[in-house]
Amino acid sequence: MKLRKASAAAAAALVLSLTATACGGGSGSGSDDGKITIGIKFDQPGLGLKKPDGTFAGFDVDVATYVAKELGYEAKDIEWKQTPSAERENMIANGDVKFVVASYSINDERKQKVDFAGPYFVAHQDLLVRADDSSITKAEDLNSKKLCSVTGSTPAQNVKEKLAPKADLQEFGGYSECLTGLENKAVDAITTDDSILAGYASQKEHQGKFKLTGLKLSDENYGIGLKKGDTDLQSKINKALEKMESDGSWEKAVKANFGPANYKNDPAPKITEGS
């Protein structure tokens, strides 16, 4: 009798567990219980930064918040998830996030694994060097230098394959590590998008220490990454981005996040993905 009761209880518990999983969508859906999980960077001033008080700021954060609202989620419903460059495709494919807004350049290799909405911003690859360093004025100068970027980033590969194949490339998990290396003279330059570099250079503790070389080494079209084949979400995000540009919110976000660095941005790009 006791055995039969235990078996019945176990069966009931199993049914309840399966029911809860079906209703809740599990931990991999990216949006559960009225919440939405969005992937951003936590260490990119001006784009995606987790502040000491636990709040988040930056242009990507503003774009993601606007898009989420158009999808029916208020700011309080957003759960931000740190999304390193090398993990973006995996986190989207696994359903860890609903979508990713993290200085995510659209390219053909990535489009084999994920889909994009947008683009919503155009940046250009550049170099950040120490303010007193006049030895790096063009990409070829990096061939005898130590160059830093993050693992999995497009700019790092662009330098190694096309611009300065003999550069001593150092790859780290985040740009903040590169910045420490640049300040300590462990590396000679950092390469990534000018928007990211401008964000770092404009921080109060870094002002006057570094400078952008102003080299437009590539065009980087930032897109919002989402699960392959989710054309419904792609269409909704594209419409949200178009609305953000037309109602002035896009320009307002650009000025708020990049204005202090006197960053001269390109106009809002035309939506090309999914069209």
* Residue pLDDT, tens place only, 105-127: 999 999 999 999 999 999 999 99
| Prediction pTM value | 0.76
- The pLDDT value given to residue 30: 64
Query: Rounded to whole angstroms, how far apart are CA atoms 109 and 113?
Result: 8
- Once rounded to an integer, what is the mean pLDDT over residues 151-171? 86
Which residue, 39, 109, 110, is CA-closest to 80? 39
Query: Rounded to whole angstroms, how far apart are CA atoms 40 and 100?
Result: 6
Q: Write out the CATH class of domain 36-122+220-261.
A: alpha beta
pLDDT at 33 over 80: no
Using the CB atoms, write b or e for 98-131: b if 16+ within 10 Å: bbbbbbbbbeeebeeebbbbbbbbbbbbbbbbbe
Query: Rounded to whole angstroms, how far apart are CA atoms 271 and 275?
Result: 8
Q: Which residues pair with 190 in a beta bridge?
A: 128, 148
Instruction: For CATH 3.40.190.10, list the domain ranges present in the chain.
Output: 36-122+220-261, 124-212
Are the beta carbons of 108 and 201 closer than 8 angstroms?
no
For 124-212, which CATH superfamily applies? Periplasmic binding protein-like II (3.40.190.10)
- Once rounded to an integer, what is the mean pLDDT over residues 14-27? 38
N- to C-terminal Cα separation, the chain:
65
Largest CA distance in the chain: 86
